[in-house]
Amino acid sequence: MSARPVALSATPESSLARTGVLLMLLGMLMFALNDVMGKWLVSTYSVGQVVFVRSIAALIVLAPFLWFSGPKKVMQVDRPFMQLARVAASTAEIFAFYFAVVYLPLADVMTYWLAAPIYVAAISPLVLKEPVGWRRWSAIIVGFIGVVIALEPSSQALTPQAIISILGSMTFALMLLLGRSLRGTPDTTLVFWQIVGAGLAGAGSLYFDWKPVSPRDLVLLGVLGVVAMLAHMLVNRALKMADAATVAPLQYTLLFWAIVFGWLVFGDVPRLPMLIGSGFIVASGLFIFFREQQLKRQGRIKEEPVEAIVTGSGDPV
């Protein structure tokens, strides 16, 4: 008898939180599927060609939102040099991601990219003058140890592609830092110029390496951009429906999907050092996140929007 009143007395907030969790999980699954399609396509077509067509598809999806918010607002860019730096970092990160997944398993690349929030926490005191206490510094060190374990510096796993992957994740961290300094810029504006920058870079490479696209792959290239935009919409909606502390940690399910799809689709068996290193990285990232949430509640650091941890393939936002 006692179970029925409990079920019936569920608050609207708890219902919204459950919906937010489901949306976040679905968004992460869509990002993972997007990464799989990206890895599949760059095995046949150049990175620039994939990025170009993907950007066109993403712009088509974004067009109604641009029209609704007003095209003039998109063109009115505050702090243009900072915006340009963010677009450059985002474009470099996208190309690095696609280049990395050509040669490395998805799980390896995702492990390196998940270290980006750790780099942000380490650089924030220098760039944004944000204080970092000994607890977060300890977590940062643990995260760096995880990166070293995953890289296996003394083995053949330390390849130029792995190094490019690490550099790409650092560029992603730089993009996140620049995004923090552009908090006043509407999301639509950030997204639009980010897609335009990637599309222009992709277009610039078409002259050197363009291959005829089969009808099937043309559909996949279009879906690549559409799925990425839809995934971001799901993530953004999840962050609005539920507390960040509830849904943001679910972004680490990307690693689970990367392992599963890498194994099922590409036959990539996860390396033990990668699994151990990813455990260090995820634990470090989660500690840093929850510690920052605690400090925000105490008013010791500034409140700011939570940014999704997404890969280059899943990122036009």
Is the pLDDT reported for residue 6 higher than 70? no
297 class by beta-carbon count within 10 Å (0-12 exposed, 13-18 middle, 19+ buried):
exposed
Res 3: pLDDT = 45
Contact in structure between 202 and 49 (CB atoms under 8 Å): yes
φ and ψ at 291, to 5 degrees?
Answer: -65, -40
Is the pLDDT reported for residue 9 higher than 50? no
How many angstroms separate the first and last alpha carbons of the chain?
48
Contact partners, residue 128, CB within 8 Å, separation at least 6:
177, 180, 181
Res 317: pLDDT = 36
Q: Is residue 7 very low, low, confident or very high in pLDDT (cuts 50, 70, 90)?
A: very low
Contact partners, residue 218, CB within 8 Å, separation at least 6:
53
Q: Which residue has the higher pLDDT, 41 or 313?
A: 41
Contact in structure between 147 and 173 (CB atoms under 8 Å): no
Residue matched to tokens 């679905």: 26
What is the rounded CA–CA span in Å between residue 109 and residue 36? Answer: 12
Cα separations in angstroms, 131 against 99, 122, 138, 310: 35, 10, 14, 25
What is the rounded CA–CA span in Å between residue 278 and residue 245? Answer: 21
Sign of dihedral through CA atoms 107, 168, 314, 254? positive
Contact in structure between 146 and 279 (CB atoms under 8 Å): yes
Res 65: pLDDT = 82
Is the pLDDT reported for residue 251 higher than 90? no
Res 239: pLDDT = 76
The residue-averaged pLDDT of 124-137 equals 81
